[in-house]
Amino acid sequence: MQEKDIDEIIRLVLTGEATREEASILAQWLAASDENRQVFEHMQQLWQERTPEPPLPNAGQLSNQIWAKALQTDPTPQHLHPAPAPSLLTYYTRVAAIVLFIIGLPLLIFFYMATPAHKPEKTQVVYTEKKSAIGQKLKITLPDGSLAWLNADSKIQYAANFEGNTRTIVLEGEGYFEVKKNASKPFIVKSGKVSTTALGTSFNIQAYPEDSTIQVALLTGKVQVKSPQVGTAGIAFSLREGMGIHYNKQMNQSSKYKVDQDQVMAWKQGILLFDGDSFEEVTSKIRRWYGVEVTVTGTPPNDWKLTGKFKNEALTSVLENIRFGRSFSYQLAGKQLTFLFDTPNP
């Protein structure tokens, strides 16, 4: 191959792109004079002292910058005619030194390019979970001073200390919230596909996974409720006191309704309330309220609609009231409740 300009060869060596033949040409050039060696040593020093940013530099551009700086600080011309030949020992000593440098330089470049830039570690968000067992209710003071009450068999999750720009809670089950005002940090409760946003208010959300509906009832203040709506990407409702949202999971539809505050707050006041409930709804409420496992023998009637109110009453008292005028019996053994249909009463 034709001999290249020495500045181009030096650039290729510094960037790790030089061939063995080009490295040999550089070694001969360095061994030819002390001035050549001084220029190269100066460039080597600049290379080693370069800043490590950016983490993945353009090697060709970086070497050009180093070469330009070396020329500014050292008046030695780029193209030097070979000086009188040195002694044989001196020549081979210099060649050996340059060869060692050339062998080590690719390793230096490799480790430099492979070392990632230091990135600050992201702080891992710690989540808190609060859960009420079947047959129990739970009152919780949230990090911002807001209050939450959980009905039986319910749970909430939220970031410890409400980190971030919102106070977001994920609810499964039923919960009542009294929210501290903070206009710069909205209070958001996510319950399935429904999201309720408030700044300072009190509201109740019923969102048990097994239920066919999700209900949001506003008692004081204002909230915005976002929910899916058939045929759209979703819809947002602004609610005022005494209004609520009823979301039907199967129909994927939401509608407003007028809230009966006594009915909404019944569970929080220790009242087990049935309001035209089907048999499945009755057994679900009994299971959660009293913490029992419910099984059914026989076929319950499809037209069962139960209405009743029971405050702090024992399960047997509730069952005896439900039995009045209905053809079924039951067996209660510890935490196991069995409804018996089409069999004689005990």
pLDDT in tens, 149-194: 999 999 999 998 898 899 999 999 999 999 999 988 999 999 999 9
CATH of the domain at 335: 3.55.50.30
Residues 6+ apart with CB under 8 A from 138: 130, 131, 132, 149, 150, 154
Of 87, 114, 141, which residue sits at a domain end?
Answer: 114
Tens digit of each residue's pLDDT (9 = 90 or more) over 38-68? 777 767 666 565 544 433 344 445 445 544 5
User: Does residue 1 surpass a pLDDT of 90?
Assistant: no
8-state DSSP, 19: -
- The tally of domains found in the chain comes to 3
CATH for 188: 2.60.120.1440
Mark whether 293 and 171 lie in a shared domain: no
Per-residue pLDDT, 346: 47
pLDDT: which is higher, 198 or 17: 198
Kindly state whether residue 203 falls inside one of the protein's structural domains. yes
- Token representation of residue 263: 């009915």
Q: Is residue 346 part of a domain?
A: no
Q: CB burial class (10 A; 0-12, 13-18, 19+) of residue 200? A: middle
Residues 138 and 157 in one domain: yes
Is the domain of 59 the same as that of 144?
no
Indicate whether 293 pLDDT > 90: yes
**Cα gap 206→177, rounded to integer Å:** 12
What CA–CA distance (Å, rounded) separates 286 from 291?
8
Q: Does 170 fall in a domain?
A: yes
Cβ atoms of 197 and 190 closer than 8 Å: no
Residue that terminates a domain, selected from 114, 135, 155:
114
288 within some domain: yes
Q: Which of 247, 264, 281 is where one domain is finished?
A: 264
Structure tokens at 215: 């209900």
Q: Residues 63-121: pLDDT tens digits?
A: 455 445 544 544 444 444 444 544 544 544 454 555 555 555 444 444 444 445 455 56
Domain that holds residue 317: 270-341
Please tell me whether residues 98 and 171 are part of one structural domain: no
Q: Is residue 120 part of a domain?
A: no
Residues in the chain: 346
> Are 133 and 252 within one domain?
yes
**Per-position b or e across 211-250, b if 16+ CB within 10 A of its CB:** beebbbbbbbbbbebbbbbeeeeeeebebeeebbbbbebe
Among 40-49, 254-263, 276-285, 315-324, the range scoring the smallest mean pLDDT is: 40-49
282 and 222 in a single domain? The answer is no
Answer yes or no: do 23 and 59 share one domain: yes
Does 300 fall in a domain? yes
Q: Tell me whether residue 77 is in a domain.
A: yes
Question: For the segment 206-251, what is each residue's pLDDT rounded down to a tens digit?
Answer: 999 999 999 999 999 999 999 887 666 678 899 999 999 999 999 9
pLDDT of residue 48: 60
How far is residue 134's CA from residue 291's CA, in Å, rounded to a whole number?
5
Q: Are residues 188 and 259 in the same domain?
A: yes
Beta bridge partners of 138: 150
Measured CA to CA, the distance from residue 221 to residue 180 in angstroms comes to: 11
Residue 122 lies in a domain: no
Pair 226, 108 in one domain = no
Q: Do 171 and 189 lie in a common domain?
A: yes
- Give the up-direction half-sphere exposure of residue 244: CA atoms within 13 A in the CB hemisphere: 21
Q: Are residues 196 and 213 in the same domain?
A: yes
Say yes or no to pLDDT of 15 above 50. yes
Are both 256 and 318 inside the same structural domain?
no
